[in-house]
Amino acid sequence: MQLLLLLCLAAQDQSAEAKKLLNALAPPLKDPAHSQIEWTIGSRTAVGYFERQKAWRLDTKSGDVEMVFLWDGKSFLNYMKRSNRFFNSPKEPVTMLLIEGGGLAEIHYSGNADRLLKDAKQVTVKKEKLDEVDCSHVVITPKDLQGSTDVELHFWIADGACKRFSYKSKPNGKPNERTYTYKVVDPPSVTEETFAFKPPADAKDMRAGNK
């Protein structure tokens, strides 16, 4: 019984330590509470704009494929530039923010790691080197994410910065990993107009069955 209690306390301590490390990645709250990050995933580049707990926008580019993902606080828009098509929804796609922008995007938007840690099956923190830099390696195993139970979120943190984030999953039983390398842009080039993006007038609404 005592061993079980000690194991439970150890798990709680790691969750608390992980939360402290992750929450520290959120930029200080200002007025307006804007922030901006850039990242790469292999050859793919992206930039994220955030207004704390109000709006987020991700602009991604892979070759000649450019996309805009926008949550303006009221509705969600996904615009595909090359095909000039768009899709919108009245609900915030929390999982899409995490998958497209990675863990740091979620933290910049929320201002904390609460949604990442909520109902997590397991949270671990260990010390290890990344490119010869001493880091805290935080691993979160979500209870359920996008219908999959085989997901791990990996953060490497040093000196209050996210050096790397990896989203590991096993779609159809096959291991897959997306690794994000971030740069925080300070001061951010974010304005209220950033979140007022609209598709061109001739863009096709995917919900209407346009191809």
The string of pLDDT tens digits covering residues 110-130 is 999 999 999 899 999 999 999
Confidence of residue 204 (pLDDT cuts 50, 70, 90): very high
The reported pLDDT for the residue numbered 79 is 98
Query: Which candidate, 62, 100, 101, places its Cα nearest to that of 82?
Result: 62
d(CA 165, CA 95): 15
Q: Which CATH class, in words, describes the domain spanning 2-206?
A: mainly beta
Query: Quick check: 147 and 88 in contact, CB under 8 A?
Result: no
In this prediction, residue 6 has a pLDDT band, given cuts at 50, 70 and 90, of very low
Sequence spans of domains, the chain? 2-206
3-state secondary structure of 72: coil
Class of residue 37 by CB neighbours under 10 A (exposed 0-12, middle 13-18, buried 19+): buried
